[in-house]
Amino acid sequence: MSFAYLTIRDRLPQILTKVIDTVHRNKNKFFEDNGEEGVEAEKKALSFFSKLRNEIQTDKPVLPLTDNQSDTELWNQYLDYQKTLLNKGETPSWFKSPWLYVECYMYRRIQEGLVLSPPISEYDVFREGKTESFFQSQPAIIALCTYLQELKNNVANLSENQKKEELSKLLQVCLWGNKCDLSISGGLDNSQKFSILSSLESFMPFILVNDMESVWAVLSGSKNLESGKELMKRVDIVLDNAGFELITDFVLADALLSLRLASEVHFHAKCMPWFVSDTTKHDFNWTIKHLQAANHKWMSKCGVNWKENLQRSCWIYHEHLFWTLPHEFCMMAQTAPDLYSELQKSDLVIFKGDLNYRKLTGDRKWEFTVPFFQALTTFHPAPLCSIRTLKADVQVGLKPGVGEQLSSNEPDWMISGKYGVVQLSTSV
Ligand code: F6P
Ligand code: MG
């Protein structure tokens, strides 16, 4: 049985059941905020979500969206496109459509259910889980914030080699932080319970593609040889999950500035709740605000510094609806040319997480040894690096025999999150 099949059969209905439970539990809150209208909206949303779960479980056709949002037309066009891929008379349905498409579509339908249920349209059904996961990771977050502040205090004394080691360490932290997503666990606790820093060495053998040296080369080649002046480098991070993973991204972004490997970091987040734990604007701001007010010296120092980074515009927040479309990234230049040209301004675009990897590679059944560059097909806006733990069955750029050997020894190596890649493509 494929993981795609199990996802549609078990995982998506399980996530929806949790959504239904969350909305129901918050009935009183909706009443307090909006009176009877809130209670009516809760009922409406609940019946929408139950119907949606039933559509999935009984393999009903994928329906056009009806909520008149700025992306509604694009989704409906994409559905029409899916129809053209089928034989005449056939309709795309939950079990008979590409996995990537219907999985994205489910999260967009959840959004539709809320949009059609005012006044609770802005409610994030996944927020409770994200907040809980953040608090459960508290010790690991403290360890990381403390490490970062020590690094910053000592940065002037570091040799180039030591800087390279620090970058590699923080890239690994960022990588393993991607284990903590709540979609793979069906919304159940998947937080980082202990400091990750002491485990990095023992996790090293599980990094299947390790391009960290080349990432260093991309970022450290910042001296203008003629004038000796440092060039300004821009790094973009296409964020994935809130909670511990987002902290690892912030720590990396802060260290990039302190190590003078970048002068600007641009973050890209989701404009609606997505894949349970993905970062929205609210999560982004809440995290920094919460750290600022934390009762721990180094945590709050991080929060204060990060707020300043945003105020000084050396950290810049972006949102684009393309990130919550089902499209693979090779369609970005035509579907979202403004976003594509924004990314072209970057010196390095870091794509966090598994879903981004699936979209980078078009979620195809590539041979394991196909070069990353080739799997990106036409998507080459700037040098780009995927930092991802394996949670879906696509992987490229492996040495001959590696994928086959793993498949025979560990049947679930591509979906367990145990393995990871830091995989770079420099061709533009
Ligand atoms: O299959 C697991 C899954 O739901 C994938 O569909 C998706 O790519 C991934 O989890 C989400 O993981 P991440 O948060 O790393 O993108
Ligand atoms: Mg995610």
Q: What is the CATH number for 30?
A: 1.20.930.60
Compute, in angstroms, the gap from residue 417 CA to the centroid of ligand 1: 10
Range of the domain at 75: 3-116
What is the rounded CA–CA span in Å between residue 122 and residue 33?
Answer: 12
Helix then strand count (H, E) for the chain reads 19, 7
Please, what's the b/e burial string for 232-260 (b: 16 or more CB within 10 A of its CB; e: otherwise)? Answer: ebbbbbbbbbbbbbbbbbbbbbbbbbbbe
Instruction: Please check whether residues 132 and 8 belong to one and the same domain.
Output: no
Q: Which atom of ligand 1 is nearest to the CA of 240?
A: 14
Tokens, residue 120: 């609770």
Nearest CA to ligand 1 atom 10: 184
Question: Taking Cα atoms as reference points, which of 352, 290, 291 lies closest to residue 145?
Answer: 291
Instruction: Please check whether residues 104 and 134 belong to one and the same domain.
Output: no
Domain end call among 94, 116, 138: 116
Instruction: Please check whether residues 167 and 279 belong to one and the same domain.
Output: yes
**Is residue 269 in a domain?**
yes
**Number of domains into which the chain is organized:** 2
Instruction: Please check whether residues 112 and 145 belong to one and the same domain.
Output: no
The predicted pLDDT at position 420 comes to: 98
Decide: 204 and 152 in contact? Cβ < 8 Å: no
Compute, in angstroms, the gap from residue 249 CA to the centroid of ligand 2: 13
Instruction: Please check whether residues 204 and 254 belong to one and the same domain.
Output: yes
Amino acid at 118: P
Pocket test of ligand 1: the residue of 275, 283, 356 to mutate, having most ligand atoms within 8 Å of its CB, is 275
Give the N- to C-terminal CA distance of the chain in Å, as an integer.
38
Compute, in angstroms, the gap from residue 112 CA to the centroid of ligand 1: 21
Identify the DSSP state of 354: H
Rounding to the nearest 10 degrees, give the CA dihedral for residues 7, 56, 20, 127. 50
**CA 156 distance to own-chain centroid:** 33
For residue 202, give Cα distances in angstroms to 112, 158, 199, 207: 44, 25, 5, 11
Query: Within a 10 A sphere around the Cβ of 17, how many other Cβ atoms?
Result: 15
Compute, in angstroms, the gap from residue 245 CA to the centroid of ligand 2: 10
Instruction: Please check whether residues 198 and 93 belong to one and the same domain.
Output: no
**Is residue 121 in a domain?**
no
Query: Within a 10 A sphere around the Cβ of 213, how many other Cβ atoms?
Result: 12
Provide the 3-class DSSP secondary structure of residue 29: helix
Long-range pairs for 201-208 at CB < 8 Å and ≥24 separation?
203/172, 203/176, 203/420, 204/172, 206/418, 206/419, 206/420, 207/172, 207/175, 207/419, 207/420, 207/421, 207/422, 208/390, 208/395, 208/398, 208/402, 208/419, 208/420, 208/421
The predicted pLDDT at position 226 comes to: 56
The ligand that comes nearest to the alpha carbon of residue 392 is 1
Q: Which residues contact 231 (CB under 8 A, 6 or more apart)?
A: 222, 223, 224
Instruction: Please check whether residues 137 and 222 belong to one and the same domain.
Output: yes
Instruction: Please check whether residues 152 and 74 belong to one and the same domain.
Output: no
Question: Taking Cα atoms as reference points, which of 387, 314, 385, 348 lies closest to residue 219?
Answer: 348
Q: Is 236 in the pocket of ligand 1 (CB under 6 A)?
A: no
The predicted pLDDT at position 224 comes to: 52
Domain of 220, CATH number, reads 3.40.50.10880
**Is residue 48 in a domain?**
yes
The predicted pLDDT at position 53 comes to: 98
Burial class for 355, CB neighbours closer than 10 Å (0-12, 13-18, 19+): buried
**Is residue 41 in a domain?**
yes
Query: Within a 10 A sphere around the Cβ of 50, how many other Cβ atoms?
Result: 14
What is the rounded CA–CA span in Å between residue 124 and residue 107?
Answer: 12
Q: Is 358 in the pocket of ligand 1 (CB under 6 A)?
A: yes
Q: Is 245 in the pocket of ligand 1 (CB under 6 A)?
A: no
Q: Is 7 in the pocket of ligand 1 (CB under 6 A)?
A: yes
**Is residue 54 in a domain?**
yes
Compute, in angstroms, the gap from residue 234 CA to the centroid of ligand 1: 27
Instruction: Please check whether residues 139 and 36 belong to one and the same domain.
Output: no
Q: Is 176 in the pocket of ligand 1 (CB under 6 A)?
A: no
Instruction: Please check whether residues 236 and 315 belong to one and the same domain.
Output: yes
Domain end call among 66, 96, 116: 116
Q: Is 181 in the pocket of ligand 1 (CB under 6 A)?
A: yes
pLDDT tens digits, the chain, 428 residues: what are they? 888 999 999 999 999 999 999 999 999 999 999 999 999 999 999 999 999 999 999 999 999 999 999 999 999 999 999 999 998 889 999 999 999 999 999 999 999 999 999 999 999 999 999 999 999 999 999 999 999 999 999 999 999 999 999 999 999 999 999 998 877 766 666 777 788 899 999 999 999 999 999 999 999 985 555 555 666 799 999 999 999 999 999 999 999 999 999 999 999 999 999 999 999 999 999 999 999 999 999 999 999 999 999 999 999 999 999 999 999 999 999 999 999 999 999 999 999 999 999 999 999 999 999 999 999 999 999 999 999 999 999 999 999 999 999 999 999 999 999 999 999 999 88
Question: Taking Cα atoms as reference points, which of 250, 256, 170, 251 lies closest to residue 219?
Answer: 256
The ligand that comes nearest to the alpha carbon of residue 387 is 1
**CA 377 distance to own-chain centroid:** 21
Decide: 312 and 257 in contact? Cβ < 8 Å: no
Instruction: Please check whether residues 155 and 303 belong to one and the same domain.
Output: yes
The predicted pLDDT at position 223 comes to: 54
Q: Is 276 in the pocket of ligand 1 (CB under 6 A)?
A: no
Instruction: Please check whether residues 78 and 142 belong to one and the same domain.
Output: no
Alpha helices in 178-235 (DSSP H): 200-203, 212-220
Q: Is 179 in the pocket of ligand 1 (CB under 6 A)?
A: no
Nearest CA to ligand 1 atom 7: 355
Compute, in angstroms, the gap from residue 259 CA to the centroid of ligand 1: 31
Compute, in angstroms, the gap from residue 278 CA to the centroid of ligand 2: 5
Question: Taking Cα atoms as reference points, which of 4, 47, 5, 1 lies closest to residue 23?
Answer: 47
The predicted pLDDT at position 427 comes to: 83
Compute, in angstroms, the gap from residue 353 CA to the centroid of ligand 1: 7
Domain end call among 92, 116, 140: 116
Decide: 288 and 296 in contact? Cβ < 8 Å: no
Q: Is 42 in the pocket of ligand 1 (CB under 6 A)?
A: no
Please, what's the b/e burial string for 369-386 (b: 16 or more CB within 10 A of its CB; e: otherwise)? Answer: eeebbebbeebbbbbbbb
Decide: 299 and 148 in contact? Cβ < 8 Å: no
Q: Which atom of ligand 1 is nearest to the CA of 278?
A: 14
Pocket test of ligand 1: the residue of 274, 391, 416 to mutate, having most ligand atoms within 8 Å of its CB, is 391
**Is residue 42 in a domain?**
yes
**Is residue 236 in a domain?**
yes
Question: Taking Cα atoms as reference points, which of 379, 362, 357 lies closest to residue 427?
Answer: 379
Q: Is 103 in the pocket of ligand 1 (CB under 6 A)?
A: yes
**Is residue 419 in a domain?**
yes
